[in-house]
Amino acid sequence: MMNPPDHAPSLLLRLTASALVVVVLALGLIGLVVDRAFLAAERAALDERLENTVFTVLAGLEVEGDGRLEWAGAPAESLLMQPQSGLFAGVYGEVDDWLSPSTLGVEVPLEQTPVARGGEIRQQAGVQSPWHVYRRGLGWELPDGEIIDLVVWAAESPERMEQAVRGFRTNLWRWLGLAAAVLLAAQLILLAQPLLVLRRVAAEVSDIEGGRREQLSGRYPRELAPLTENLNALLATERANVEQYSQALGDLAHSLKTPLAVLNARAESSETIPAQELRETVGQMQVRIRDELERAARTARRTLLPPLPLHPQAEKMVRSLGKLYTGVDFTLACDPTLKANIAERDLVEILGNLLENAAKYGGGKVRLAMSTPNRSGRRRGVVIEVADNGPGLSAEEFEKLLQRGMRGDQRAEGQGLGLAIVQRIVDSYHGTIRASKSEWGGLQVMVELRPG
């Protein structure tokens, strides 16, 4: 017992996984970029705060004549006035060291690194320093005109910046997570729309399998038109082929009924059947079976045929019949680039029957014209016109020749031979065949084939 084939993962599941990966990667990259930008902005803001703190210290700094530093102080709300606030400042050099009130209770871990006049040093918190530090060197002129070297510094504990970064990152990833959920939900809604259309197609196909409908009839988006049209064409082809084979089997059963009845009657009467007669009867039955099977194979239709160049086939047929009917003037009017989605054997069968009838029963002139039909479609059809200058046929006579079981030789020997086959081929292409009066007064047969 064969195991059922494993189903591939759901298309919606695969699309959802792909969308999730894309959203996570995109928002993750955006979050990384924004995080780096915020960190750079915070560092720039830190440098600006430390530099402003140094200028705040300088604004309130005074050096007495005995070398003592006096500082007028900063506004009360300044972090320099609040002990252990995280923002510190100080002065060292050729005067007594000075530290801001915020350093009370704090062990200052900074070395008194010399800085040239007008120079500055920035140092990030790390292995060498637990604080972010900014130093600026300057020359201070005393009242007696002496210039002394001073270094003013400002420092900030890294906890302040780290707290700001942590808060920003928490908000950033919270909002990015919410954005990811919204985007994913929106993508699922967008992805579900085409999948719902495909589900509708699958439901109609299931109805076709159950015999509840014959073809796909819903209105589908333009992108699915090739799929639905090809499915309908395949279904139409299948029905046409079933009908052709059923008709062939009916014809075969009808043609074999009489010889089988004769043989059965002879057998029941215990009459001896001569071997030669039996062989002839069996031979006729074999020929009839072969002919009907060949006819069914000829008229069976295929779907999604590749474009067939028509001019070479028409030219070959006209040239071959020109050699057979030397007294007939054949003319061909066909664009060399003309193509149609039809089977080569169908084209040869139609051209052969129509041209041979026109050559036999015309007055010596036969014209074959091939063109593209006015109706448009993804698969191209063809219009075939065969005209002659013979006596012609009335519309009623022509219709009789197309009827199933009507033989042309009931009117005259060979008249209209093969028109029933042409009608079957035309029907399999959902086309039309009609007769009219030609420009020479004879018969003009026009066949339109519509592949879909």
Tens digits of per-residue pLDDT, 377-419? 567 889 999 999 988 887 777 877 776 445 444 444 444 447 7
Q: If we measure between CA atoms, which residue out of 434, 450, 416 comes closest to residue 301?
A: 450
CA–chain centroid gap for 167, Å, is 44
| Cα separation, 444 vs 435, whole angstroms | 6
Low-confidence ranges of the chain (pLDDT < 50): 1-2, 4, 404-405, 407-417
Here the tokens at position 291 are 């002919």
Q: Which long-range contacts (CB under 8 A, 24 or more apart) does 195-204 make?
A: 195/11, 195/12, 195/15, 197/221, 197/224, 198/11, 198/224, 201/227, 201/228
Backbone angles phi, psi at 437, to 5 degrees: -85, 130
Q: What is the pLDDT of residues 80-123, one digit of tens each?
A: 888 888 899 989 888 788 888 888 888 888 888 888 888 999 98
What are the distances in angstroms from CA 430 to CA 215, 272, 424, 426, 451? 15, 51, 10, 6, 7
Tokens of 38: 């915020």
Q: Does the global pTM surpass 0.75?
A: no
